[in-house]
Amino acid sequence: MQWETVIGLEIHAQLATRSKIFSGASTAYGAEPNAQACAIDLGLPGVLPVLNAEAVRMAVKFGLAIDARIAPLSVFARKNYFYPDLPKGYQISQYELPVVQQGTLDIELEDGVCKTIGITRAHLEEDAGKSLHEDFHGMSGIDLNRAGTPLLEIVSEPDLRSAKEAVAYMKKLHALVRYLEICDGNMQEGSFRCDANVSVRPLGSEKLGTRAEIKNLNSFRFVERAINYEIERQIALLESGGAVVQETRLFDPDKGETRSMRSKEEANDYRYFPDPDLLQLEIDSGLIEQMRADLPELPDAKRQRFIKEYTLSAYDAGVLTATRELADFYEAVVKAAQGEPKLVANWVMGDFSAALNRDNLDIAQSPVSAVALAALLNRITDNTISGKIAKEVFEAMWAGEGEADAVIERKGLVQITDTSAISKVIDEVIAANPTQLAQYRSGKDKLFGFFVGQVMKQTQGKANPAQVNDLLKAKLAED
Ligand code: ADP
Ligand code: MG
C-alpha cells in the first residue's frame, strides 16, 4: 500500500508589542518571575481587559502580506479550561470570527517548483503563563510574566505533504513575520513555535485520515524529525491492522520520538463564548488601506528584484533576501561600491557571513560596516589588490586594525602591476629552476602552476595574478 502524508501547521508567533495584549504590563523577555504580571494578567476580580491597538495593527499587516481577507468585524471569545498557569480559568482568543481569514503563502520545493499553501485563518489571542517544575522540590512554581503576551496563531490548510514542505512553509512564515517586524522570531525564547497536525491516508484517497497533533515544536529541525517519526509510526500502526487515535503528542528530542500526552479535546469541550468584557473588534477600511500602503517590500518581491536589478542567480538572491537585515546590508554595499553586484554578493555571502557566524554576531554588531566593506571591494575592482590579498585585509579590518586603505598601506600589500617588475621576477624564477624549465618545455604542462607559485612567493602574493599568467606563458614559450 502507498501512503500519502497530510500535514497542517498551527504556528504561534509572539507579536513584538511592548506591552501585553490586554494590559499595560511589559512583554520584555527574561525578567524575574512574576515581575511583569499586573492585576489583569493575574485574573484578579474587578479588572477589565483593554485591547492593545498595536497588536491589531500587526495582525492586519500580516493579513495583508498573505493576501488574506481582513475581517471588518471580529470577536474575542473565551476558551475555558483549568490549568495552574491560567489564573482566569479561560484564555481570551478568537474563535468563530478571526481577524485574518483565507490567505495564501507560496513555498518553493526542492525541485524549484512553487506550491501555494492555504492559510485558513490567523487570530489574536493571549499567551498563558509558565509552570516551572525544576528547583521546587515536590512543588511547581508559576511564572505569569508570559500571561497576556499577544500571540498571532496562524493556521494552515492541510495542504502540506511532507516534513520538508512543512519546514519550507514554516521558514517562509518565519522570514515573513520578521520582514514585517511583527515578531522577533526568536525560537529559543518561544517567540515562534509550531503545533504540527499529521495524518496519513491511502494514496489517491480524498478522505482525511485521523490526525495526531504534536505540540510546541520550537526548532525547524524538531519539526522535521517529529513529523517524520510520526508518519512512520502511523503507517506502521495502520499496516499492522491498528488505528490512529486523535490525540495530542509531545516530541522528545533526545529519544527522537513522539509520545501521547492526552486525548484530543473537541472544540465544544472548551465552551467557547464571546467575551462579554470586550467589544467586538471593528477595523475600518481606512486603517487597512493605510497599512497596505505602509507594507515593506516582501521577501518574494525583493528576491525577484535582486535577480533583475543585480543580475544575480535565483540562489544568490534567495540567500541575500533571507532576512531583511542581510538584504539591506547587501544593497548598502552595492551602493557604496558603485557596481560589481556579483562581487559584492560573493563577499557578503562568503567571507562576511562566515565571519559573522564564526564570531556569533548579528549584522548590526559587525565590526566591518557596509561602507568599509565597499571600500575594500573597490580596491579589488581597481586592481590595487587581488581577491586573495583582500581576504587578508578583510580579516585585519574585522580584527579592528583599521579601514581597507590603511591596512593595505601599513602592510605594504599594494598589488604589483608594473610589467617590468613582474617580468624581472619571472626571469629570476626561470633562471633558478632549469630542471623544471626543461621538463615544462618537454611537455609537462602541469609545471606551469609551479612557476606561478614561485612568482607569487617571491612577491609575497602581491603580483597581479592575471599579468603573471600572461607574462609567464610568453616567457616559458620563448627559446
Ligand atoms: P484544532 O487543532 O484546534 O482542533 P482545526 O481542526 O482547525 O483545529 O485544525 C488545526 C490544524 O490541523 C489545521 O492546520 C488543519 O489544517 C490541520 N488538520 C485538520 N485535520 C487534519 C488531518 N486529518 N490531517 C492533518 N492535518 C489536519
Ligand atoms: Mg490545534
pLDDT digits (tens, 9 = 90+) for 392-447: 999 999 999 999 999 998 988 888 888 999 999 999 999 999 999 999 988 898 99
Q: Which cell numbers in the block locate residue 456?
A: 607569487
Q: What percent of the chain has pLDDT over 70?
A: 100
Give yes or no for residue 7 CB within 6 A of ligand 1.
yes
Nearest CA to ligand 1 atom 11: 8
What is the CA(197)–ligand 1 centre distance, in A?
Answer: 6
Distance CA 186, CA 27 (A): 14
Question: Residue range 15-34: average pLDDT?
Answer: 96
Q: Residue 435's Cα: distance from chain center in Å?
A: 57
Alpha-carbon distance values, 163 to 3, 222, 228, 252, 416 (Å): 14, 10, 6, 17, 54
Pair 212, 230: CB distance under 8 Å: yes
Distance CA 152, CA 127 (A): 10
Selected residue with higher pLDDT from 153 and 263: 153
Nearest to 464 by CA among 390, 397, 393, 375: 390
Give yes or no for residue 105 CB within 6 A of ligand 1.
no
Ligand 1 pocket mutation, candidates 81, 197, 217, criterion most atoms within 8 A of CB: 197
Residues β-bridged to residue 201: 4
What is the CA(196)–ligand 2 centre distance, in A?
Answer: 8
Question: Residue range 3-23: average pLDDT?
Answer: 98
Q: Which cell numbers in the block locate residue 418?
A: 608594473
CA atoms within 13 A on the CB side of 371: 2
Question: Residue range 342-366: average pLDDT?
Answer: 96
What's the pTM value of the predicted model, to 2 decimals? 0.85
Give yes or no for residue 158 CB within 6 A of ligand 1.
yes
The values of phi and psi at residue 425, to 5°, are -60, -40
pLDDT of residue 249: 96
Report pLDDT digits (tens) over 177-200.
Answer: 999 999 999 999 999 999 999 999
Mean pLDDT of the chain: 94
Alpha-carbon distance values, 182 to 14, 58, 173 (Å): 8, 6, 12
What is the CA(137)–ligand 2 centre distance, in A?
Answer: 32
Angle between helices 419-432 and 447-458 (to 10 degrees): 120
pLDDT of residue 384: 87
pLDDT of residue 460: 86
Nearest CA to ligand 1 atom 3: 267
Neighbour-count burial for 377-397, b at 16+ CB within 10 Å, e otherwise? bbbbeeebbbeebbebbbebb
3-state SS, the chain, equals CCEEEEEEEEEEEECCCCECCCCCCECCCCCCCCCCCCCCCCCCCCCCCCCCHHHHHHHHHHHHHCCCEECCEECEEEEECCCCCCCCCEEEEECCCCCEEEEEEEEECCCCCEEEEEEEEEEEEECCCEEECCCCCCCCEEECCCCCCEEEEEEECCCECCHHHHHHHHHHHHHHHHHCCCCCCCCCCCCEEEEEEEEEEECCCCCCCCCEEEEEECCHHHHHHHHHHHHHHHHHHHHCCCCCCCEEEEEECCCCEEEEEEECCCHHHHCCEECCCCCCEECCHHHHHHHHHHCCCCHHHHHHHHHHHCCCCHHHHHHHCCCHHHHHHHHHHHHHHCCCHHHHHHHHHHHHHHHHHHHCCCHHHCCCCHHHHHHHHHHHHCCCCCHHHHHHHHHHHHCCCCCHHHHHHHCCCCCECCHHHHHHHHHHHHHHCHHHHHHHHCCCCCHHHHHHHHHHHHCCCCECHHHHHHHHHHHHHCC
Residues β-bridged to residue 7: 160, 198
Give yes or no for residue 378 CB within 6 A of ligand 1.
no
Give yes or no for residue 208 CB within 6 A of ligand 1.
yes
Give yes or no for residue 148 CB within 6 A of ligand 1.
no
Distance CA 139, CA 136 (A): 5
Please say if the pLDDT value at position 332 is more than 80.
yes
Using only C-alpha atoms, what is the Rg of the chain? 30
Please say if the pLDDT value at position 291 is more than 90.
yes
Distance CA 200, CA 319 (A): 33
Interacting residues of 424 by C-beta distance below 8 A, sequence separation 6+? none
Ligand at minimal distance from the CA of 12 is 2
What number of other Cβ atoms are within 10 A of residue 364's Cβ? 7
Give yes or no for residue 156 CB within 6 A of ligand 1.
yes
Report pLDDT digits (tens) over 85-138.
Answer: 999 999 999 999 999 999 999 999 888 899 999 999 999 999 999 999 888 888
Ligand at minimal distance from the CA of 270 is 1
- pLDDT band per the 50, 70, 90 thresholds, residue 367: very high
Distance CA 317, CA 297 (A): 14
Distance CA 62, CA 181 (A): 10
Nearest CA to ligand 1 atom 15: 8
Q: Go through the chain and tell me how many residues it has.
A: 479
Nearest ligand 1 atom, CA 156: 14
Give yes or no for residue 227 CB within 6 A of ligand 1.
no
Residues β-bridged to residue 151: 14, 125
Give yes or no for residue 422 CB within 6 A of ligand 1.
no
Give the burial class of 201: count Cβ atoms within 10 A of its Cβ; 0-12 exposed, 13-18 middle, 19 or more buried. middle
pLDDT of residue 479: 61
What number of other Cβ atoms are within 10 A of residue 413's Cβ? 21
- pLDDT band per the 50, 70, 90 thresholds, residue 382: confident
